[in-house]
Amino acid sequence: MVAPDRDGVDFYRTARHRPPAPPLRAHMARAFEGSPERWAHHFAALLTTSPDSPLHDGRWVLSPDPPLRLRPNHPQGESPGEYWRSLLVEGDPDGYIEWFIHNGSWEILPLRAMPDADDPRVKAYRKQARDGVLPPVLLWWVSGLDCHLVLDGHARLAAAIAESVEPAVLELQRTVPQDEVDSGTEQAVATYETELERFTALRAAQGPRVPDGAEFAGPALARRLDELRTAHRPTWAWPLPGGVREWDRIAREQVGEGGWEYG
């Protein structure tokens, strides 16, 4: 439920989440060591076949370099463990996502309670973290929450935090439709060619003091093509199975007869 002042959203976890990937074995972690591309292909194959995958119609990007690593205004000298722990949304099973606390989409919402550092699975992953072979955490950016969800890898993220190492991360996001990519690419290339012609004419009239057109227009073209390839698009959502009646039942169980206010 979005807050009335639009500064955040309430959430409630139903304990129905099932990760799209089976447990990752140690031999695979060592075989894929240092290869985010191989992990991306591995998870992409699982996401396209798993019944628990969130994929729906559209184009999707699986990126090894999410913007979470670039959160502004975090304290200087903060350890990796402190940094990634600060991104986790608290609350189990319910809580509140504050949209302005980090001035952007910097929070991470676990889809189940984070395991303790001494959990057996976390202990196994902590050794992999120390050895530098910890598999990546799969995050899913959801536009309606304006944050990332831990789609797979709660224990791996807990291990990285416990060992205070930078976790490998893959970010899943819905991106620009192919027809928009094609038309946008044509427009961007046409703009680039027009700029080259303009600078060629200027250099012919004013001499070499006019900068080279490719140096001026090339970076803008590269940025636009990257935006077309990776820009976020809204995430689809579906009502809770059972509809309003089921939502009301859960609300009464969790917060009393008054339930939540929602529209």
Instruction: For the chain, give the mean pLDDT.
Output: 84
Q: Is residue 110 part of a domain?
A: yes
Residue range(s) defining the domain that contains residue 238: 8-176+232-255
Q: Name the pLDDT band for 262 (thresholds 50, 70, 90).
A: very low
Q: Is residue 262 part of a domain?
A: no
**Average pLDDT of 91-98?**
86
The Cα-based distances of 145 to 105, 205, 209 in angstroms read 9, 54, 50
Question: Are 148 and 185 in the same domain?
Answer: no
Q: Is residue 52 part of a domain?
A: yes
Question: Are 40 and 145 in the same domain?
Answer: yes
Question: Are 106 and 218 in the same domain?
Answer: no
Question: Are 37 and 161 in the same domain?
Answer: yes
Question: Are 65 and 184 in the same domain?
Answer: no
Whether the predicted pLDDT of 49 surpasses 80: yes
**Average pLDDT of 142-170?**
93
Name the percent of the chain lying above pLDDT 90: 36
Whether the predicted pLDDT of 67 surpasses 90: no
Whether the predicted pLDDT of 214 surpasses 70: yes
> What is the tally of structural domains in the chain?
2
Most confident of 52-61, 115-124, 228-237, 246-255: 115-124
**Average pLDDT of 121-127?**
95
Question: Are 214 and 158 in the same domain?
Answer: no
Both tokens assigned to 163: 């060992």
Question: Are 163 and 182 in the same domain?
Answer: no
Question: Are 41 and 166 in the same domain?
Answer: yes
Q: Is residue 84 part of a domain?
A: yes
Do residues 93 and 15 lie in contact, with contact meaning Cβ atoms separated by under 8 Å? yes
**Average pLDDT of 94-122?**
84
Question: Are 143 and 212 in the same domain?
Answer: no
Question: Are 19 and 115 in the same domain?
Answer: yes
Q: Position 213: which residue type?
A: G
Both tokens assigned to 215: 């140096």
Q: Is residue 108 part of a domain?
A: yes
Do residues 60 and 172 lie in contact, with contact meaning Cβ atoms separated by under 8 Å? yes
Most confident of 21-30, 31-40, 134-143: 134-143
Question: Are 246 and 185 in the same domain?
Answer: no
Q: Is residue 248 part of a domain?
A: yes
Collect all residues with Cβ–Cβ distance below 8 Å to 74 and sequence separation of at least 6: 83, 86
Question: Are 17 and 126 in the same domain?
Answer: yes
Place of tokens 């530098």: 132
